[in-house]
Structure 1
């Protein structure tokens, strides 16, 4: 079993390096584009924002689902150990970077495209703050699972899995419909 964990750790380190290199490349390209401010910048940053948000949302939906299965696994069992590795990788390699890119690019788009004006935009930002708080809650919950101190049942995790759905719907309505002009 220790050989499996060493391999998992090595693979995790490689994935982490690739993720950080990708983030650094995107940030460098974004800074260069921002400096030169080409006409296409705003549209391409919208694309980056949508891709980052989708990646983040996938994690916000999938991690509570992993917690459902993890809550049913016997503490200290091989499945429980596997869930810990999966949860940590999801948080560190996908969710964390995707959240940072979503926030960074999203704030830039809100500033450059809308000058932070419009009630719809502030409601959307409030929904994203809610998603961020849920992300923090999930991150702390993953640490509790890793320490063997989870207190929530699989049923409670199924219910918690609905939180990002509601917040996502609010954000999408605000962006697409802009009901409060």
Structure 2
């Protein structure tokens, strides 16, 4: 059984990294779409409809599945003993991933507001929010690779 776990661990890790890359691409791109949507599209216009299709497909087809796969693969790796719960880096990563999931949820809620023609936020808000996934990604990578704490 140990041989089986040792042989699948690299595959689970590879799957986790691929899913995180896809998820992060969406987390970086969706707020940029919101910036242009908020600044350039009039509710009900053809441009508004175009942005809504792009945002919905990005979220539903790429981001949601990637987030789910990243979480499942991460939990499997935790189950296989990849985390040292006595180390601060593991907690920093876990809390940052929870924060990333919260950011994802915030973006999904904003998509629904755009779809209902009820966005009240400016492009500036979305520009600022675009930095949240970046900061969390930096924390995660440093925590996992450098392990300074």
| Structure 2 residues not aligned, in runs of 5+ | none
The corresponding residue for 1:105 is 73
The structure with the largest alpha-carbon Rg is 1
TM-score, normalisation: structure 1: 0.77
TM-score, with length taken from structure 2: 0.93
Match of 1:143 in 2: 112
Q: How far apart, CA to CA, are the structure 2 residues paired with 1:135 and 1:119?
A: 24
Report the counterpart of residue 63 of structure 1 in structure 2: 30
What's 1:134 paired with?
A: 103
| Equivalent residues of 2:5, 2:80 under 8 A apart | no
Cα RMSD, aligned residues only: 1.5
- Structure 1 gaps, min length 5: 1-33
Q: Distance in 2 between matches of 1:110 and 1:120?
A: 14
Higher relative contact order by CA 8 Å / sep ≥ 6: 1 or 2? 2
Alignment of 1:17-166 (within 5 A): 37=4, 39-72=6-39, 73-117=41-85, 118-166=87-135
